[in-house]
Structure 1
Amino acid sequence: MVKDASIISISPEIMSCIPVFLGTKVPIQTLLDYLKGGESIDYFLGGFPTVTREQVMILLEEN
């Protein structure tokens, strides 16, 4: 469970309550899928420039 809720948004208005990175429409699951598939954080960030490295690192450090 992520302790720093300032990096995640869950709202019925954004992606039907799917957890996304705050300030984006990028699902948290997308990052996890990239990493599970062997992709790097840099590759993910290149494809989703609205997500910050800080958000990714906070998420990964707390899980």
Structure 2
Amino acid sequence: MGGTPVFIGTRVPIKTLIDYLEAGDSLNEFLDHFPSVSRQQAISLLELAKEMLTVYANPA
């Protein structure tokens, strides 16, 4: 995928999940469209993103 981060064992770019969620689609809808991505992979990615945002966000 030319260096684009993908879910392990798939060719599904991680950004695709973010795009779905930004568009208002549910996690279930994303998983229905990309059955090669497991629910646990998607949840782990979202938990990591939340942790990184919390650590690197500027305090209000």
Identity %: 53
Tell me whether 1:50 sits opposite 2:36 in the alignment: yes
Tell me, in whole angstroms, the C-alpha distance in 1 between the residues paired with 2:7 and 2:47: 15
Greater strand percent: which structure? 1
Runs of 4+ in 1 over 3 A off after TM superposition: none
Structure (1 or 2) with the larger CA radius of gyration: 2
Partner of 1:21: 7
* SS at 2:12 equivalent: coil
TM-score using structure 1 length: 0.76
Give the aligned residue type for 1:32.
Answer: I
TM-score using structure 2 length: 0.80
Tell me whether 1:34 sits opposite 2:34 in the alignment: no
Q: How many residues align?
A: 49
Tell me, in whole angstroms, the C-alpha distance in 2 between the residues paired with 1:42 and 1:58: 15
CA RMSD in angstroms comes to 0.4
Relative contact order, higher structure (CA 8 A, sep 6+): 1
